[in-house]
Amino acid sequence: MNCHKNVYITTPIYYVNDVAHIGHAYTTIIADMLARYSRLTGKKTFFLTGTDEHGQKIEESAKLRGKTSKEYADEVSGKFRALWDDFDITYDKFIRTTDEEHKTGVQFAFEKMFNKGDIYKGEYEGYYCVSCETFFTEKQLIEDEFCPDCGKPTNIVKEESYFFKLSAYEDKLLKWYEENPDCILPRSKKNEIINFVKSGLRDLSISRTSFDWGVKLPESLNEPKHVMYVWLDALLNYITALGYGNDDKNMEYWPANIQLVGKDILRFHAIYWPAFLMSLDLPLPKHIAAHGWWTRDGDKMSKSKGNVVNPKEVADAYGLDAFRYFMLREVPFGQDGDFSQKALMDRINSDLGNDLGNLLNRIIGMSGKYFEYKVTSKDVVKFHQKELDEVNEILSGIEGYIYNMQLNRYLEEIWKVLTIANKAIGDYEPWTKMKEGKADEAMALVSLITNIMAKVALLLDSVMPEKISKIAQCIGLEINTQNYTKIIGNKELLEDVTITKIEQLFPRIEELLLEQAKPTDVATQPAKKEEKLEEAIEEDNLITIDKFFEITLKIGTIVEAEEVPKSKKLLKLQVDLGEGRNRQILAGIKESYSAKELVGTQACVVANLKPAKLMGMLSEGMLLAARDENGLNLVRPEKPKISGTKIS
């Protein structure tokens, strides 16, 4: 890593379909730590984050909220950016896929791949998960038509599409994995990717015509009804942010050193992304690093459970720097982590309060009591060469942990150094030295501790910048590249310093500062006085708005209808939902409607219902109807609508 003049660090661009949660904060804090450390050590650094704003899911979410797609994207993207600014995230660019220069760059890349022969026109038919914006083969589905990633129903899509020749890059990808052992971190994740690629890659559908919220294809193709598949659009942000396809002004930073992703999107970054780059004749990233997920108090987080961690609430209650330290220290990178206030309090009280904060307090106390806050390093080597050697040995390879994504190990090594410092005070008892008239030895001890604190401050600045700035103020240290080189790189000692008293950095926390997560399910709520209201809630079987949004309702046009033999109730209908093919739906409405009168009429259809067999025939949806004492009636639009129109 040291041989690289430039350092480029990226987070995934976050999908604007929800507010920022602890997983987003985790990724961004890691990236910010890497960027801060790289800058401090003298590397020219570019740190990218941003938001992913195109796709069918965004279009549908915007409509449900009565907003245009751009209005909805502006709103959610703004919240992400505001949170990162509040967290003092030091990004160099915040990219949005709705930026004009991004669109231009994506179109440039598409045209280049097309001209190379890696993109061709065809027709796609298969299963598509709107929630994951992902296509699947029938073999990949869990059972029937459910997404293997999120478990939600998929839609059968048949439409004209442009395809990327992903299959042509299978051998090249396997060669890249083999020749670059650390291209995917942690290494254990790479085996999953290799096995997936070895199972065979299908060409990738990279355009859609069933919606229009996305980047249009290049004008040279004259395909106005096509928009790019959201993952092609999104992945290219990592180079369009550097000016690719425009002015190339920051392309000197490519290839990226570390591209951070969650483990759920590793496949897109470790297969599709390098294949796109190969097609564009661009070098591949050095490391694609996939982190794990976070639970809360041992449970998976979900809105329905009411246990989603709001990162801003935690940072406001416990302090941003303490939150950053906890996230980076608590779990090895790549593994799943568990957030609990108890664990956070333990880290604050033990690691930060006792080990770090109290050590600084002892420097302040001893220097003030014995030496009027004046500390000199002239005798440190004479009396404490052993401790200096131990510290320098520990720190000699510490940068390797940073760029190999062993961030918890990096912090563990720093805490070993703090242990040496705290132990030295007990071993040498400076108060006894003063009683014995050995002020020079006592001074050497205080100076040893101060020098160790200087090293620790420089190494922790990327982790806890606000608290470290106070430590640096206390020991008269400037946090800059020059001092990093002198004190960490060259192992030099501080010149004479004057200690400045500061307030306690990490006051002890005795009780939880936030309310514990409470289940939101009605059945688990305490009994209320309004028993009638409670009974009504239970009878109505209320669901959350999120559950309702999982239902896809569309206008369907009945193009064919016939009776089902031997059935008193069923009609077999062929219904057009704007999908390029008709759905077969069996409806129990024969007693209320004749087959003939239904042809050419419209009805409201539940379009993402799991298909079922009735009397040996497949039914791919359900018509909505209402029945009372006057009989049954289909739910229909007031005026004719285009087949497939979403109901919201």
Annotated binding site: 129, 132, 147, 150
> Beta strand 571-576 with 553-563: parallel, antiparallel or unpaired?
antiparallel
From residue 40, how far is each of 117, 160, 391, 461 by CA, in Å? 44, 51, 20, 9
Angle between helices 56-64 and 69-86 (to 10 degrees): 100
Question: Structure tokens of 489?
Answer: 């790189």
Length of the chain: 648
Annotated binding site for Zn(2+): 129, 132, 147, 150
Q: Which residues have C-beta within 8 Å of that of residue 235, sequence separation ≥ 6?
A: 268, 269, 272, 273, 276
Place of tokens 């980076």: 328
Measured CA to CA, the distance from residue 481 to residue 487 in angstroms comes to 10
**Bridge partners for 295 per DSSP:** 300, 338
Contact 552, 645 (CB under 8 A): no
Measured CA to CA, the distance from residue 452 to residue 446 in angstroms comes to 10
Contact 289, 258 (CB under 8 A): yes
Question: Structure tokens of 212?
Answer: 């229009």
Q: What distance lies between CA 404 and its chain's CA centroid?
A: 19
Question: Structure tokens of 187?
Answer: 């290494």
For residue 485, count other CB atoms closer than 10 A to its CB.
15
**Bridge partners for 52 per DSSP:** 15
Contact 134, 272 (CB under 8 A): no
Exposure string (b/e) for 521-558, b if CB count within 10 Å is 16 or more?
A: eeeeeeeeeeeeeeeeeeeeeeeeeeeeeeebbbbbbb
